[in-house]
Amino acid sequence: MLTVNYLPTAILFLTTLTLPGWLQAATEGDASRGAEAAAVCASCHQADGSGKHNEQGESWPQLAGLDADYIAKQLRDYKSGQRQNATMKPFANMLSEQQVADVAQYYSEMAPHPGQGGDSASEEVLQRGRILAQRGDWSEYIVSCKSCHGPDNQGAGSVFPGIAGQHAGYIESQLKAWQAGDRTNDPQDLMGTIARRLSDDDIRAVAAWLATQPPQAN
C-alpha cells in the first residue's frame, strides 16, 4: 500500500505515463527529423525559415527562432480548426503528432533573419509604433506589446512568441484578423481585446516598427 509520503510522487509518475501523446511529443521534437518533414513548408516559409514579405500581397511569417512549443501549438490549432487558414490546414494535416514536434524543434533551432516591411515607413510612423510596442497608449487602454511578449518583444515562453523582427505584413494581417474575430486562438482573448482598440494607422505603425527590430533566437 502506498503511504501518504509517497502518494504525490506516485500520482506524478502515473500522470506522466498517461499524458496525451501530442503533449509528450511536444517535449521530444527532433530537429534532424524535422528538417525532412519541413520540406513541404519551404515554398512559403523558405528553406531558412525566414518567411516572405510582399508589400502588395500576402506575407508569410518568419518561423526561424520561434519557441518550439508555440510553433507546435499553432500547427495543432490549424489541424483542429481552432485557427483558420485555408492554405495552412492541408499542410498541417499532412503532419503526424510526432512530425509536428519535430518541425517545431527544427525551426526553433534556426537563426532568425531581419524582418521586412518596416524600412519604408516614415519616422513619424515608426515613432508611433515604438510607443505602442514599448509603452502602450493608456489613453486608449492599449497595453504595450512587451507587457506580454517580453523585454524587447523577444518572446515569453510558449504562449507569447517573439515578434521583434517579424515581417510587417504578417503582423498587420494577424492584428486585423484578431480585430475582426477571424483569429481567436490566443489565451483569454488577450490579443483580440488589444487589436480592437487599435486604429488601422496604429496597426500599420506597430507592425512597421516591430519589423525593424532585431530578432533573437530562442
Render pLDDT for 80-117 as a digit per residue (tens, 0 to 9). 999 999 999 999 999 999 999 999 999 999 999 999 99
Q: Which of 189, 165, 163, 188 is nearest to 177 (CA)?
A: 189
Q: Which three cell numbers stand for residue 65?
A: 527562432
Mean pLDDT of 139-147: 97
**Strand (E) or helix (H) holding 11:** helix 7-17
Distance of CA 70 to CAs 118, 157, 212, Å?
Answer: 24, 8, 22
Mean pLDDT of 60-82: 98
The predicted-structure confidence for 147-160, as pLDDT tens digits, reads as follows 999 999 999 999 99
Given a contact cutoff of 8 angstroms between Cβ atoms, the answer to whether 201 and 105 are in contact is: no
Q: What distance lies between CA 121 and its chain's CA centroid?
A: 24
Residue 45 CB contacts under 8 Å (≥ 6 apart), including other chains:
51, 52, 60, 61, 62, 63, 107
Whether pLDDT at 4 is above 80: no
Q: What domains sit in the chain, N to C, each tagged with a CATH number?
A: 7-108 (1.10.760.10), 123-211 (1.10.760.10)
> Which amino acid belongs to residue 158?
S
The predicted-structure confidence for 168-202, as pLDDT tens digits, reads as follows 999 999 999 999 999 999 999 999 999 999 999 99
Mean pLDDT of 14-40: 69
Residue 120 CB contacts under 8 Å (≥ 6 apart), including other chains:
55, 208
Q: Provide the pLDDT confidence category of residue 27 given band limits of 50, 70 and 90.
A: low
pTM over 0.75, yes/no: yes
Q: What is the mean pLDDT of the chain?
A: 90
Q: Which of 28, 92, 105 is nearest to 64 (CA)?
A: 105
Q: Provide the pLDDT confidence category of residue 61 given band limits of 50, 70 and 90.
A: very high
Q: Provide the pLDDT confidence category of residue 24 given band limits of 50, 70 and 90.
A: very low
CA-CA-CA-CA torsion sign (22, 28, 33, 39): positive
Q: Which of 153, 188, 144, 155 is nearest to 69 (CA)?
A: 155
3-state secondary structure of 178: helix
The predicted-structure confidence for 114-134, as pLDDT tens digits, reads as follows 999 999 999 999 999 999 999
Q: What pLDDT score does 54 carry? A: 92
Q: Provide the pLDDT confidence category of residue 216 given band limits of 50, 70 and 90.
A: confident
Separation CA 102–CA 151 (nearest Å):
28
Q: Which three cell numbers stand for residue 156?
A: 515569453
Separation CA 24–CA 12 (nearest Å):
14
